[in-house]
Structure 1
Amino acid sequence: MSTLTYTLVVNGPLYGSQSARSAYQFAKALIEQEHTLVSVFFYQDGVTNGSALSVPANDEFDLAKAWHTLADEYQIRLETCVAAALRRGVISEDEASQHGLAQSNLAESFSQAGLGSLAEAMLTQDRVVQF
């Protein structure tokens, strides 16, 4: 079996739909099958996955922490669309500084990127799967 490179696109929010959780489970399955997950691009409401300010109940799965752990363990880029993130209040340190905001809340392991990053992934990965 040959291995493939993947990028996932997550449009669903951190909580409130199954989209992001399904993407995470798919990511784990790819890795278990020895494929390479290069990046996950969070777009539209999916950018909420990159907020450092989510606190799930003690008995709930911590999806934000799970993304962070997966990215660190397998060197996966986690990118939030900068325009979508700004509209939804997910702000990196650079963006906070640029826009004169007192604080940022982009979670560790996440970065902000433009749609050019997604376009590049579509051109260079074997597969791009959207959730």
Structure 2
Amino acid sequence: MKVNAVIIVTAPQGNEGALSAFDFVAEFCTQKHNSISVFFYQDGVRQDYSTWHALQKKYNIKLHTCVAAARRRNIDSDNINLSGIGALVTACSATDVKMVGFNPHPPFRHPHSKLENGSSKYLIILHNHPNNNFLAAEALDIALGIAALEQKVSLLFSGTGTLQLLIPDSLKILAALNLYDINNIYVTDISLKNNNLHYKKLKLQPQVITSEQVTALELDNDIILSF
């Protein structure tokens, strides 16, 4: 049976996550009729692309490197395929995609039917501390990019990612979410408690949900990405 997969690599070259992603793709490609697209994002743009290109030449896999993430990190663009978020959405939205892999935080793809306009429902979980280099900002970037392509996007702040609700730079972006029809914004009650945050003091007031409600939220979405 043919299986199409999308792998999102966020770990840099030499990291255990990047190595496991490469090994997985190499093994996956040996299975007859399988096809795969790889999207390098965040620190995942820091790769030894020669090894990936060798795999691409042998199995005709598709490699995409996020142009914004590469430019932020001054990555030499020679001999790599720079792509926008649209390439990721196109790959994930293909009707025959059976699996979406994410490295190092695995997402899920639920076999839901698409919305009436043909779009998918994405849940993006933000868990990175706001001071963690570009990572927190890039999670919001991908949310806006996906929403701009007329996909349904919800946000869930979890762990130290909840602190993004206090940072002025993040709040400027979050204030514009309604312009992209991103109206479903959530935070877990345990994350507020663990970070000593009081809901009423937050300038942006997302919906507070329990762990049980998180499970229901995940089941209600087609694709879950975690940053």
What's the TM-score, normalizing by structure 2? Answer: 0.42
2:83 corresponding residue in structure 1: 113
CA, structure 1 residues 12+35, in 2 after alignment: closer, same or farther (shift >3 Å)?
farther
- AA in 1 matched with 2:85: L
Equivalenced residue count is 101
Displacement of 1:64: 3.2
Higher relative contact order (CA 8 A, sep 6+): 1
2:52 corresponding residue in structure 1: 67
Contact persistence 2:29–2:36 (CA under 8 A): no
Can you list the C-alpha shifts for 1:62-84, whole angstroms capped at 9, x where unaligned?
x5322110011111121111111
1:19 corresponding residue in structure 2: 17
- AA in 1 matched with 2:43: D
Percent of paired sites with the same residue:
36
1:83 corresponding residue in structure 2: 68
Contact persistence 1:121–1:128 (CA under 8 A): no
**In structure 1, distance between residues paired with 2:7 and 2:52:** 12
* Structure 1 residues not aligned, in runs of 5+: 50-62, 91-104
- Alignment of 1:8 with 2:7, yes or no, is yes
Structure 1 or 2, whichever has the larger Rg, is 2
Displacement of 1:24: 0.7
* Structure 2 residues not aligned, in runs of 5+: 104-227
What's the TM-score, normalizing by structure 1? Answer: 0.70
Displacement of 1:111: 0.4
Per the alignment, in what secondary structure is the counterpart of residue 126 of structure 1?
A: strand
